[in-house]
Amino acid sequence: MRSSINSITSFLSDILSHLKKGRLPFYYFYRRLKLGTINWFCDFYYGIKTREVFNVTQMKVESKNLEHAVRYEGTPYFILKEIFNSSEVDLKGRKFLDIGCGRGRALFWAHQKKASKIMGVDFSSDLCLEAQKNLEGINNVSIYCQDISDFELAEKFDVIYISNPFGKVVLENLLDKDWIKNQGPETVFVYHVPLESSSFLNRNYKLSKTYSYFRNQDVVKVFRKPHKDLSSDKILYHL
């Protein structure tokens, strides 16, 4: 009941925001209805629960980064399907990391696309618990309940997914970490709702692909990690 009330509150808040900006909400209603129907059906079909919005005020987390957190709302299924069906971001046989994994929808989809290893990180214990329930029985998935600012990783991943879980301060702190810098030259960063794209561009990441949906209301950008040619000190990109 509480999750349904939160979803309705979030929905009404978004409508009010559009009205304040002088926008007619017809297209917004159409988008929400279409996404809501698809997401509900896919959750029902796969037997998981990832649809409900989880607001920051619900997060029982003691962290200095809580003020930079963004509410959980799973990436729409049809967007996951299109991105991870593309040659640009092929998950089959590859290692997948979701930073701010929430209830685990993207992790579940990585499993559907036959990723070889799947890992998720989130600082909300409630969301991590729900993700574990949704992914129960899948052997190649690991979920870590930890603040990303304290998270360290020696392993390299092929695809790192970020669906706007936090703001600029935390994102830039993440991109400056050694374990991110030490990812392989062919690692791709998939950034859904890329509000802080400049954080990547300012660090010489290459914008490789942009996906846009619903009149740019849903956008995904794919970035390639830079590396240096030590013989010439030039920045190169694997495309």
How much is the average pLDDT of 55-74? 84
For residue 41, the Cα-to-chain-centroid distance in whole angstroms is 21
Residue 198: pLDDT band (50, 70, 90) is: very high
Is residue 74 within 8 Å of residue 102, measured between CB atoms? yes
Query: Buried b / exposed e across 145-174, counting CB within 10 Å, b at 16+?
Result: bebbbeeebeeebbbbbbbbbbbeebbebb
Tell me the CATH number of domain 66-236, given options 3.90.850.10, 2.60.40.10, 3.40.50.150, 3.40.50.300: 3.40.50.150
Q: What is the domain partition of the chain in residue ranges? A: 2-55, 66-236
pLDDT in tens, 109-135: 999 999 999 999 999 999 999 999 999
pLDDT for the residue numbered 98: 98
